[in-house]
Structure 1
Amino acid sequence: MSTIHQTAGGAAPRASEPRTDPRAWLGLAIMSLPVLLVAMDFSVLYLAIPTITDELAPTASEQLWIVDIYGFLIAGLLITMGNVGDRFGRRMVLLSGATVFGIASLLAAFAPSAMVLILARALMGIGGATLMPASLSLISNMFPDLKARALAIGVWTACFAGGSAVGPVFGGILLHHFWWGSVFLINVPILLLLLVFAPKLVPEYKSGTTDPFDFLGVVLSLLGILPLVYAIKHLASDGVDAIGIGSGVLGIVALTLFITQQRRAKHPLLQLNLFSYPAFTSAIMAALGCMMTLGALSYLTGIYLQSVLGRDVLAAALAGIPMAVAVAVFSLGASRVNALLGTRAAFVTALLAAAVGNAGLLFLGTDTPIWIYLVSTTIAGIGYGIVFSLVSEVAVSSAPPERAGAASGISETSFELGTSLGLALIGSLATLVFRANSDGRDFSDTLGETLHRAGELGSGPGTDLATAARSAFVDGLHVAATSGAVLLVVLAAVISVVLRRRT
């Protein structure tokens, strides 16, 4: 593929100074729209679940699958779809994924039953898994200038990170005015814009390889990632049982076989030699650690704002806007931080900022002013925004151009797995502390259930139970915040040492 780039004055630039076609920015804007949608659909459903439960009456198991099947399939298919895009055409895969995502969104919006909604969410996960690596890897083709590419990756990351943050806000507004299907139906007109304009603004790229496709690697990767993610979520929500342990063992065994097979395969799905590059390894570690702490922070503080401080759902969602803005703004400015400090110092500084934000949650109590929450999460958002943009940029630039899709798939998989691990490990730790601090009182499994039972008991015993439950939850939040801050500080120290090596 060849593209002619011209300067503003019409003269051709020198070969040593590649220039970006102005149309590339329009193409980036079009590609960023589905990324925003995919990220929003991770969290937009949280506020809609009560209404969906009333309308479709799903069982407890069906409700779990409505929420989780989307993320499961995205996490399991990102690496595969990144390779498919490299081989068969990134723009073609992008448009195919948008079509699947749009059709699935229509099906979800008008789903007559829980099972149909689960199927629609699964199809949305398949479509989302094609949209993300294809759009990110195309940036390396559309922006040959390094500064422009860094800014473009910052825009992409801002849409990805910001979408997850504003999902509940957007969902709350839609649910306030329309029926629950509107949170899915809004996807359709935006995806139609992509399908109309992307063929004109986004170039095609394919590696041109004729090597056999690694179907065995695809199967083993799915058998590894999907059961393992399910086991983490199942053990966190239902405790230790045979289903959770069996799923976890299956996932671990399959991932072990996958790594062994990838080392021996002539044309592997996953280029393990990418992890020999310190910058790439650091990026993956940073993505895992930051998403673990951010996932746990978002989940626990959402409960804190509603069940401890007594704010309604929409007010709690609006309180998350400062952090979302910080993530978006500093994702865009990460390239400047990187240019000023260097990759190593930028990673370390951003991770420490995120750690300070997590540590700020230690000042939260049962009647703390909201500004303490806003300041702490905003500081954390600054660090997360820089890290997320650096991760995307480093992961893509560390790989050869023909493998950029696979590299972006690995980085995005680390984001999804990090979120699941954070909710499972740090979230479960907070729950254990909550139950341990019951002081002999009969707490339910969650703070919400305990407060509901306290309301049934009435004033006196009910008031005492509610006060104790809120205090115990704050104790759990403090332990989780401390764990997150420590994890980020340790990660900063490790990356500081790893990046001393020269690639």
Structure 2
Amino acid sequence: MYLLGVPTARGWLANASCRTVHDMSRQHSPGLRAWLGLLVLLGPVLLVSMDGSILFLAMPRISQALTPTAGQALWILDSYGFAVGSLLIAFGAIGDRYGRLRLLMVGATVFGIGSVAAAFAPSAEFLIAARALMGVAGATLLPSALAVLSELFADPRRRAQAIGIFAAAFAAGFAIGPVVGGVLLRTFWWGSVFLVNLPVIALFLVLAPVLLREVRATRPGRVDLTSVVLSAVGLLLAVYGLKHAATEGLSVDSVVIGIAGVILLVWFARRQRRLEHPLMEFSLFRDRVFTIAIITGLLPLAAWSATAYLAGIYLQSVLGLSVLAAALLALPGAAVLTITCIVTPFVVDRVGKRTSLAICHLSIAAGLLFLLATTITGGIGWYIASTAVAGVGYGISFAVVADTAVGAVPVERAGSAGAIAETSNEIGNALGIALLGSLAALVFRISGPDLAPTLDETLQLPGLVPALAEEAKTAFVTGLHVVAATASVLHTALAVLALRWIPVPSRTVPTRTLGPQGPR
């Protein structure tokens, strides 16, 4: 089908004759430069995603060195993700207007500067500012890299394969971040988790001008500064309100901040309808396939982040594993996820997006149910099985969402479309911890010994008797089960919705006139 007049990887061209497809594939076949350009782009993408999780293991060392308050520790972890999620839409549009390669070069340079500043931060406040600067740079890299990638691969099928590899790098970076951090911390000081970025950034700055070409919109128009501010501040306040409510409980401050963020986002959405050159093309959501795909970008990340966070606590605080051992147990799931990202375009080409999206959500739903077999005395095998089965669905979600977002719009709007896809990932990640994490905390407070708000705080209480420790662990595992079951039900519902909303692809060549929204 056509989305806004541009063929997707499974578009009308896939239904044309074999001769036509073969001729077009040969005409647009990417050369060595395209594949080398993809390889160069993967470096910054891997770093941006990896830096979202690499501090999970470094925080104890950072706390010893900089002695941050509880609030400062939260901001050290969250300032990076807040900046990335809040500015993706704005920088996707800015790259469309003023040049994506130029923005990539500036963003990579700033990311390197922020990494050095973070590595040698003398105080918690300085580290928070450096992490925020890295987040701003990361927001410039993701949508622009995806848009430049679409220029390298003109053929829809090759582009889908390249985007699958791109998505695999992004997913793998987030998955291996804690492992990389754990390995570095065994030998070096905590700042090494930031300095590891510098060789990759330096290589990118040298090779990118040689292998990549500048791409910008043919009619750039004017960047609406008000929309930039509304999208950035609105997302920041909304996500912060959710996270504050999740970690500190409902309060007047969290509710007011969250409502203010929602109001700004509504204002932003209404304003886009009146602009000739909007930051976000809300008209894309009129297409059900695109809408399902974007939800697929959000819900799996919510389930992944919440269960990964809770499973990490389960493996360490309940089963007593070391931090590095717990991180290494996630590698099988990460490997399945990465491989799935790469092979998904080939699968989609054979079975279609309708079936692929259904498989995606049903795989995640099934994988999450394996967590229901975990207990306070054992469950490592069930955890590995869960990450492996669900990893199939997570991998499909990364690849399908990115391909649909870029393939659904004209080339000159690819940066903004990529930003929507990446923003759905970032918001899903935040919502997973905020909402599903809060659900687990609520279950723990209701069914636990009610001695402290979290499992770790409870286990650290002096003079805690074994019976109460066991009760606390049981309550935590119950919360993990409730979250897994809830997410599984949501994914099953979304699979059913995908089968109902997405039409079965036609096997005949369409003869009707193609308009902006498809065949008439």
What's the offset of the Cα at 1:318? 0.2
What's the Cα RMSD here?
Answer: 1.3
Q: Where does the alignment leave 5 or more consecutive residues of structure 2 unmatched?
A: 1-21, 505-516
**Matched AA of 1:167:** G
What's the offset of the Cα at 1:50? 1.1
Of 232, 257, 261, the residue aligned with 2:267 is 257
- Mapping of residues 210-229 of structure 1, within 5 Å: 210-229=220-239
1:418 and 2:428 correspond: yes
Runs of 4+ in 1 over 3 A off after TM superposition: 13-17
Cα deviations by residue, 1:171-213 (Å, 9 ceiling, x for unpaired)? 0000111000000001011100000001111121111324221
Query: Which residue of the partner structure matches residue 446 of structure 1?
Result: 454
Q: Provide the C-alpha distance between the structure 2 equivalents of 1:33 and 1:474, rounded to a whole number of angstroms.
A: 38
What's the offset of the Cα at 1:350? 1.3
**Matched AA of 2:488:** A
Query: Which residue of the partner structure matches residue 387 of structure 1?
Result: 397
What's the offset of the Cα at 1:368? 2.2
Q: Provide the C-alpha distance between the structure 1 equivalents of 2:225 and 2:379, rounded to a whole number of angstroms.
A: 55
Secondary structure at the residue paired with 1:37?
helix
What's the offset of the Cα at 1:147? 2.4
**Matched AA of 1:128:** G
Of 260, 267, 275, the residue aligned with 2:277 is 267
1:400 and 2:405 correspond: no
Query: Which residue of the partner structure matches residue 46 of structure 1?
Result: 56
Of 312, 332, 344, the residue aligned with 2:354 is 344
Cα deviations by residue, 1:377-412 (Å, 9 ceiling, x for unpaired)? 100001110111010001110011110000000110
* Contact 1:223–1:250, Cα closer than 8 Å, also in 2: no
Select between 203-212 and 372-381 the one with higher mean Cα deviation. 203-212
- Mapping of residues 351-500 of structure 1, within 5 Å: 351-438=361-448, 441-453=449-461, 456-457=462-463, 462-500=465-503
Q: Provide the C-alpha distance between the structure 1 equivalents of 2:69 and 2:446, rounded to a whole number of angstroms.
A: 30
Q: Percent identity?
A: 46
Cα deviations by residue, 1:129-174 (Å, 9 ceiling, x for unpaired)? 0111111111111011222211111111111111111100000000
Q: Provide the C-alpha distance between the structure 2 equivalents of 1:43 and 1:111, rounded to a whole number of angstroms.
A: 19
**Matched AA of 2:412:** E
Query: Which residue of the partner structure matches residue 64 of structure 1?
Result: 74
What's the offset of the Cα at 1:14? 5.7
Q: Provide the C-alpha distance between the structure 2 equivalents of 1:416 and 1:317, rounded to a whole number of angstroms.
A: 21
1:312 and 2:344 correspond: no
Q: Provide the C-alpha distance between the structure 2 equivalents of 1:154 and 1:130, rounded to a whole number of angstroms.
A: 20
Of 180, 186, 194, the residue aligned with 1:176 is 186
Q: Provide the C-alpha distance between the structure 1 equivalents of 2:308 and 2:24, rounded to a whole number of angstroms.
A: 47
1:294 and 2:304 correspond: yes
* Contact 1:327–1:384, Cα closer than 8 Å, also in 2: yes
Q: Where does the alignment leave 5 or more consecutive residues of structure 1 unmatched?
A: 1-12
- Which structure is richer in relative contact order (CA contacts within 8 A, separation 6 or more)? 2
Q: Provide the C-alpha distance between the structure 2 equivalents of 1:392 and 1:30, rounded to a whole number of angstroms.
A: 18
1:200 and 2:210 correspond: yes
Secondary structure at the residue paired with 1:333?
helix
**Matched AA of 1:451:** L
What's the offset of the Cα at 1:500? 2.4
Aligned length: 484
**Matched AA of 1:450:** T
Q: Provide the C-alpha distance between the structure 1 equivalents of 2:205 and 2:268, rounded to a whole number of angstroms.
A: 35
Secondary structure at the residue paired with 1:209?
coil
Q: Provide the C-alpha distance between the structure 2 equivalents of 1:445 and 1:253, rounded to a whole number of angstroms.
A: 31
Q: Provide the C-alpha distance between the structure 2 equivalents of 1:76 and 1:388, rounded to a whole number of angstroms.
A: 20
Q: Provide the C-alpha distance between the structure 2 equivalents of 1:85 and 1:124, rounded to a whole number of angstroms.
A: 18
Secondary structure at the residue paired with 2:465?
helix
Q: Provide the C-alpha distance between the structure 2 equivalents of 1:372 and 1:67, rounded to a whole number of angstroms.
A: 29
Query: Which residue of the partner structure matches residue 200 of structure 2?
Result: 190
Q: Provide the C-alpha distance between the structure 1 equivalents of 2:145 and 2:268, rounded to a whole number of angstroms.
A: 26
Q: Provide the C-alpha distance between the structure 2 equivalents of 1:294 and 1:311, rounded to a whole number of angstroms.
A: 21
Q: Provide the C-alpha distance between the structure 2 equivalents of 1:413 and 1:498, rounded to a whole number of angstroms.
A: 23
Q: Provide the C-alpha distance between the structure 1 equivalents of 2:118 and 2:184, rounded to a whole number of angstroms.
A: 15
Q: Provide the C-alpha distance between the structure 1 equivalents of 2:101 and 2:221, rounded to a whole number of angstroms.
A: 20
What's the offset of the Cα at 1:246? 1.1
Query: Which residue of the partner structure matches residue 121 of structure 1?
Result: 131
What's the offset of the Cα at 1:369? 4.1
Q: Provide the C-alpha distance between the structure 1 equivalents of 2:276 and 2:339, rounded to a whole number of angstroms.
A: 43
What's the offset of the Cα at 1:280? 1.5
Q: Provide the C-alpha distance between the structure 2 equivalents of 1:118 and 1:369, rounded to a whole number of angstroms.
A: 37
1:18 and 1:57, CA in 2 relative to 1: closer, same or farther beyond 3 A?
same
What's the offset of the Cα at 1:424? 0.9
Secondary structure at the residue paired with 1:240?
coil
* Contact 1:86–1:406, Cα closer than 8 Å, also in 2: yes
* Contact 1:289–1:491, Cα closer than 8 Å, also in 2: no
1:160 and 2:160 correspond: no
1:396 and 1:210, CA in 2 relative to 1: closer, same or farther beyond 3 A?
closer
Q: Provide the C-alpha distance between the structure 2 equivalents of 1:256 and 1:463, rounded to a whole number of angstroms.
A: 51
Q: Provide the C-alpha distance between the structure 2 equivalents of 1:41 and 1:108, rounded to a whole number of angstroms.
A: 12
Q: Provide the C-alpha distance between the structure 2 equivalents of 1:15 and 1:475, rounded to a whole number of angstroms.
A: 55
* Contact 2:58–2:190, Cα closer than 8 Å, also in 1: yes
* Contact 2:98–2:220, Cα closer than 8 Å, also in 1: no
**Matched AA of 1:495:** A
Secondary structure at the residue paired with 1:178?
coil
